[in-house]
Each structure stands twice: as C-alpha cells, then as structure tokens.
Structure 1
C-alpha cells in the first residue's frame, strides 16, 4: 500500500511537471512569435503585375517598388557633362554626397521631371511624380553603398555624379514606358 501510494504520487508529480513545462513552452512560443513579428514586419505581396520594361514580366512583386535605377546608359553627349557640378560645392564624404543627393531629389529632380514630361508630351500627375521621387529617395543609401562597393577608392563626388546620372536615366526610361496615368 505504501508503494502504491508513492507510485501514484510520483505519477501525479510528473503530470504536474509536464503541465508546467507545456505552459512554459506555450509562453516561449508566443514570445518567439512576437520577436519575429518585430524583426520581420509583414510584407505586402502583389501578384501578377505586367509592365513592358523591355518585355519583362513580373509574376510576384514583394516589398518596395523600385523604379529601376541602373548605371547603364546615359543621354550625356560628353563625359564632362557627367562631372559638371553647376556651381555647387562638391561632396567630400559619402555622407555629404548622400545629403546632396537628397537635396537634388527635392530641388532639381521635380523641375527636371516637369521639363522631361513637357518635352516628350507625357501626362503624369504631380502625385505620381511625388511617389516616384519618394521611392527613389528611399533607394539612395543602397545605391551609394552599391557604388562604394563597386569602386571602394572612388571619391564621393564621383559616386554622387554616377547616382545623379542614374536617377535621370532611370526616370526617363520609366516615363518612356508609361502611357500616362489616371491620377491627373
């Protein structure tokens, strides 16, 4: 009888311990889910969007829309055009170059976009242009890092001019592919 009683109490003790462990596991799983949701915010997934960027078809689009900043191609007639600073002080550090690019996006690009649209008879709403500018501005740090990795020894003003040229070329390519927009 004594053994039976101790056996029963041992089983009861093990059951209690298992319940406590199960509760602890559930709490830990909840904490892990909370941490993962903070580190990886939910993504918006847009499926099956087709653009005619040289017949490129996109089946699934996730994350931020990138307008296609590419280093290839340029409308410049002379290599010297790339390095004309239009009377502005040249950046001495990568941080200054990034700051100058942010200013360029706010002050010069809207004027350039309006002129380009007028010259090519393209109808794009101001709201659409603002979204494009904001999207490109968000990409500037990554583009600076990309060019810095490509040319570690390049002076900041070179990177500034490369990205400046890339921005104009990419926006021009985008405008050339759209048929106008509905946000007018």
Structure 2
C-alpha cells in the first residue's frame, strides 16, 4: 500500500515532537523526585522549607501534558536574548487581576481580541517564514495544532505583562500606548516560541 508523502512527513514530524515531549516529561519527573526527597529531608530535620521556584526559560519548550503543550516563554526585559529568565514562586497566582485590569475592565478583552486576531492570521505567516528560513515545512494540520496550542496560553501572558504596568502610567491617556506595548510583548513571545519549537524539532531530527 502506497502511503502519500505528506502523511509520511506529518508522521515523522509528530514522532519527533512526541519524542521531545517524552524527554521533557522524563526530566521534569526527575526534578520532581529531587524536590520530594529534599522536602522529606527538611521535614526530618524540622527545618523551614525554602521557597521553591520554577525557572521558565524562553528558549525551552516545557511540556506539561502528554498530548503536548508549547509553553509561551516570558521575556521580562523586552530583550531577544535566549538567556532571559523569569522566576515565579510556586504558590504565586498568575491569574489574579492587576491594578490596571480593575481600573479599566475593557483593556483585557480588547487585548485578548487583538492577540486572537494575530493568531488567526499573522501567526500563520510567521510560521511560514520560519519554515522557509529553517527549510522545515509543516503541513496545514500540524501548523494549526501549534497555533491552537499556543492560543490556549495567551491570557496568562497578557495578564502577566499587565501586572508590570506601573500605577502612575495607568491613566486614560496612556491606555492606547499600554495596550499596544503589551500586545507587542505577547506577539514577540509567541513568535520566539514558534522559532524555539522549530529549532528543537530540527535538533531532534538531526540527533543533536
């Protein structure tokens, strides 16, 4: 039975992605076991456990579910450097409304709509450009999977950037500027996530 080349290519891409997922899950499980052992040790010594922090690197696609999740990285300084790191305490609640959300309730839905418009249109153009740049074509179904997976995570990224807005800047006159700035930050994070995904897929395919 002859299998079309497009299906073979998709299966190869999917296999590489799942291999990458499994490796990330294995690493996360090992780190979790280390944390459990450390907590047991501290408990035995009646010590106050330290605040445990997770490191979110923008250049790493951390997988949280077996079916696959491309985590959008956070680049707090607005830099394109792959070495930027944002640390969050485990118990920190990222979904708590920010000051500016409380002052201007319409700002969040406006940003959500703006980001959705990009994901429904410009994001596919960005992926196409990366496919050409890295000579790694994706089929339509796989490309849609990537975009839809990222789309599920954008609300947290928007809220995180809104929390960085200083109260003094949150004036009605500054709303348009604030909205555009947050949109550009989230859009940049999405595009760098796409690029990181492409690089990692190529590394896995080449065995590096």
**TM class, shorter-chain normalised?**
0.5 to 0.7
- Identify which of 158, 183, 190 aligns with 1:160: 183
**Structure 1's 62 and 71: CA in aligned 2 closer, same or farther, altered over 3 A?**
closer
Output the TM-score relative to the length of structure 1.
0.53
Q: What secondary structure, in the 3-state scheme, does the structure 2 residue paired with 1:70 have? A: coil
Task: Give the superposition deviation at 1:94.
Answer: 2.5
Matched, 1:66 2:69: yes
In structure 2, how many angstroms separate the alpha carbons of the residues matched to 1:64 and 1:166? 22
Provide the residue aligned with 1:11 in structure 2: none
In structure 2, how many angstroms separate the alpha carbons of the residues matched to 1:106 and 1:65? 20
Output the TM-score relative to the length of structure 2.
0.47
Unaligned runs of 5+ in 1: 1-47, 76-91
Q: What secondary structure, in the 3-state scheme, does the structure 2 residue paired with 1:151 have? A: coil
Aligned CA-pair RMSD: 3.0
How many residues of Structure 1 are paired with residues of Structure 2 in the alignment? 115
Provide the residue aligned with 1:149 in structure 2: 163
**Structure 1's 68 and 49: CA in aligned 2 closer, same or farther, altered over 3 A?**
same
Provide the residue aligned with 2:117 in structure 1: 103
Task: Give the superposition deviation at 1:50.
Answer: 0.6
Unaligned runs of 5+ in 2: 1-20, 33-63, 82-105, 170-177
Matched, 1:57 2:27: yes
Matched, 1:126 2:140: yes
In structure 2, how many angstroms separate the alpha carbons of the residues matched to 1:64 and 1:138? 14
Provide the residue aligned with 2:197 in structure 1: 174
Q: Is contact 1:49–1:58 with CA below 8 Å preserved after alignment?
A: no
Q: How does 1:71-110 map to 2 (within 5 A)?
A: 71-72=74-75, 73-74=79-80, 93-110=107-124
In structure 2, how many angstroms separate the alpha carbons of the residues matched to 1:145 and 1:167? 15
Task: Give the superposition deviation at 1:119.
Answer: 1.4
**Structure 1's 151 and 138: CA in aligned 2 closer, same or farther, altered over 3 A?**
same
In structure 2, how many angstroms separate the alpha carbons of the residues matched to 1:64 and 1:140? 19
Q: What secondary structure, in the 3-state scheme, does the structure 2 residue paired with 1:66 have? A: coil
Provide the residue aligned with 2:39 in structure 1: none
